[in-house]
Amino acid sequence: MEQRARRGMWLVVGVIVATAVTELVMAAVKLQRGRYDGSDVTRLLITAWLFMSIWSGRAWSRWLLAGLYLLTAVLSLGAVALIAAGRLANGAPPLMSAALLGIAALMAAQGLALASRWVGAFQAAQRRTVADDICEAAALVKPFRRAENTPL
């Protein structure tokens, strides 16, 4: 694997780890408050499926997840602006704005990481690997040939 693809692989691993840690923290907070429900499990399964698609080289899943991360960053910054303007959650604690800024920074970093050329190079390498595996498997299977003088 070339250097750009290797960097892309580590970026994908970093995004997966950051997402897993974020999900664990959110689950712990929700469990502590008794607000964990089934929709969280569905979201986790969809996210895991998208990451598996990214790892196997499907570009559409990379761009979908990068777009969702960047959209989350923009919406978090919008919420911070509304809190600062006093239009949302009057008397919101300063910790809320700090948490939303942290979420925006994390989501923007993850979205930009997935949108990088390095991740694209990694996905191209993954697609080549899968294609090579298919070609090797096809070479192992001998084609069926009917003998010349046998009836159908």
DSSP-derived 3-state class of residue 151: coil
- pTM reported for the whole predicted model: 0.74
**Which pLDDT belongs to residue 107?**
93
DSSP 84: H
**Measured distance CA(54)–CA(57) in Å, rounded:** 5
Q: CA 148 from chain center: how many Å? A: 55
Q: So what's the pLDDT on residue 80?
A: 85
pLDDT at 89: 60
DSSP code for 92: -
Sign of CA dihedral 86, 89, 92, 98: negative
Q: Could you list the pLDDT tens digit for every one of the 152 residues in the chain?
A: 789 999 999 999 999 999 999 888 888 888 888 887 777 788 889 999 999 999 999 999 999 999 999 999 999 998 888 877 776 666 667 778 888 899 999 999 999 999 999 999 999 988 877 666 666 666 666 655 556 666 65
Say which residues have a Cβ less than 8 Å from residue 36's Cβ, sequence separation at least 6. 27, 30
d(CA 131, CA 96): 48
pLDDT recorded at residue 40: 79
* Amino acid sitting at position 105: A
